[in-house]
């Protein structure tokens, strides 16, 4: 910022941290949308900022931003990064064969088709990334879909789907079969979700621009959903290093316990409501709740708060990935079934809980047992049942909207 004389405009900006985030999005993110005063100031200096970055790369004798960051933080930077093979487009063996001659590649021992490569390997312009054969996805982010483990012929709901990496991972796990309903409310993120699905060739995904909490669970194909992946809005506290939050002035206070408690309380309230709603789908057999948070309030506490509700609907906690050593905080009986990923150099912090419905417990709204979903109905329009039944269901599902349901809203 100093190199492009940006600091002279600082008097106009009240929230310096928003400025940092806006500049990061411009230089290293997907796109900076002109939605406010700070964004406008940054976009006015777009060329100057990019020129300053280019000069800095030359000065440090590096060719990419990853190498630039490494020169300033050689002791704590990541050692590896992860890429997942999109088996909808290419086999793991073929991808490995195409990479191994030019890139050092190691197969992950937990996530199938996940490659670990040196952290500063530049892959964004690689042909296999450009055509959707390889997905740049962290190891932690791969675990929720792996824990859900849907059958190939199921109807699956990704409740808060954008940007879509977990959605297309589910599509690959299902071999491109069955039906995945990818739900996203956020107007700006729905386009990115659609682009991700298209690039991956995930033809079994139907994108829904809708609030998850307003879905009518009694209408086809929602009434046939067998598995739900719920990764709702959270604090994102497990991803602070990937997002470069440690460079912000406020990070020091957070490290010493300065947590935004009112925000956590609001998030936890929303997360509990979303999880209870997921557990209310009549045919659902498996529900995964995940966050990229390290806070107990968003993780174990949310799970604990819905246990009685889950039990009344025939659910119990499952034990995903038993080979994973890090488990939930021991605050209630059964917390060892929960899965934690502690943030480290190479992985973001994550939390995963699996709810499994006991055999024979799936019921309709009228308490009669439900039959397995008919796949011939999977491609029908949402809300294809009668108008009379739909109106009745809508009355039952009226609720106050608590917030946007989308992945990693910081």
Domain ranges of the chain: 6-59, 80-136, 140-396
Q: Reply yes or no on whether the pLDDT at 314 is more than 70.
A: yes
Q: How far, in Å, are 24, 35, 148, 222 from residue 284 at the CA level?
A: 40, 39, 12, 9
In this structure, whether the domain defined by 140-396 belongs to CATH 3.40.50.150 is answered with yes
Cite the annotated binding site for S-adenosyl-L-methionine by residue number.
Answer: 160-166, 184, 211, 231
Among the listed residues 142, 183, 234, 292, the single catalytic one is 292
- Name the CATH code of domain 80-136 (choices 3.40.50.2300, 3.40.50.300, 3.90.1150.10, 3.30.70.1170): 3.30.70.1170
Question: Does residue 405 have an active-site annotation?
Answer: no
Cite the annotated binding site by residue number.
Answer: 160-166, 184, 211, 231
Q: What is the pLDDT of residue 31?
A: 63
Q: Which of 30, 76, 135, 71 is nearest to 343 (CA)?
A: 76
Q: Which two tokens stand for residue 345?
A: 């150099």
Largest CA distance in the chain: 71
Q: What is the pLDDT of residue 159?
A: 98
Q: What is the pLDDT of residue 79?
A: 84
* CA–CA gap between residue 87 and residue 96 (Å, rounded): 12
Q: Reply yes or no on whether the pLDDT at 335 is more than 90.
A: yes
Q: Which residues contact 24 (CB under 8 A, 6 or more apart)?
A: 244
- Taking only the tens place, the pLDDT of each residue in 230-286 is 999 999 999 865 544 444 444 444 444 446 889 999 999 999 999 999 999 999 999
Q: What is the pLDDT of residue 26?
A: 74
Q: Reply yes or no on whether the pLDDT at 389 is more than 80.
A: no
């Amino acid at each position: 910022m100093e190199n492009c004389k940006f600091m002279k405009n600082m008097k106009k900006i009240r929230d310096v941290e928003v400025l940092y985030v806006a500049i990061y999005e411009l230089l290293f993110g997907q796109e900076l949308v002109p939605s406010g005063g700070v964004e406008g100031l940054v976009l006015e200096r777009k060329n100057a900022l990019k020129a300053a970055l280019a000069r800095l790369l030359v000065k440090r004798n590096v060719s990419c931003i990853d190498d630039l960051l490494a020169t300033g933080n050689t002791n704590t930077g990541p050692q590896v990064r992860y890429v997942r093979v999109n088996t909808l487009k290419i086999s793991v063996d073929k991808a490995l064969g195409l990479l191994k001659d030019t890139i050092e590649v190691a197969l992950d021992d937990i996530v199938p088709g996940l490659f670990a490569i040196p952290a500063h390997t530049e892959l964004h312009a690689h042909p296999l990334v450009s055509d959707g054969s390889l997905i740049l996805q962290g190891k932690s982010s791969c675990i929720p879909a792996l824990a859900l483990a849907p059958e190939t012929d199921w109807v699956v709901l990704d409740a808060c789907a954008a940007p879509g990496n977990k959605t297309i991972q589910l599509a690959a796990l299902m071999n491109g079969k069955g039906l995945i309903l990818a739900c996203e409310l956020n107007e700006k993120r729905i386009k990115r979700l659609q682009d991700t699905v298209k690039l991956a060739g995930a033809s079994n995904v139907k994108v829904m621009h809708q609030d998850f909490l307003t879905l009518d669970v009694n209408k086809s194909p929602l009434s046939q959903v067998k598995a739900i992946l719920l990764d709702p809005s959270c604090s994102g506290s497990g991803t602070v290093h990937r997002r470069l939050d440690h460079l912000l002035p406020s990070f020091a206070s957070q490290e010493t316990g300065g947590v935004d408690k009112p925000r956590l309380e609001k998030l936890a309230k929303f997360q509990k409501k979303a999880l209870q709603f997921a557990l209310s789908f009549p045919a659902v057999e498996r529900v995964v709740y995940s966050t990229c948070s390290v806070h107990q309030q968003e993780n174990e506490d949310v799970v604990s708060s819905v246990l009685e509700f889950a039990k009344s609907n025939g659910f119990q906690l499952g034990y995903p990935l038993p080979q994973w050593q890090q488990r939930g905080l021991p605050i209630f009986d059964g917390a060892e079934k929960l899965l934690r990923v502690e943030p480290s150099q190479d992985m973001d912090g994550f939390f995963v809980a699996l709810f499994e419905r006991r055999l024979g417990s799936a019921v309709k709204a009228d308490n009669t047992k439900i039959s397995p979903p008919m796949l011939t109905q999977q491609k029908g329009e949402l809300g294809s049942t009668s108008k009379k039944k739909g109106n009745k269901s809508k009355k039952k599902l009226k609720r106050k909207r608590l917030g946007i349901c989308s992945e990693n809203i910081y």
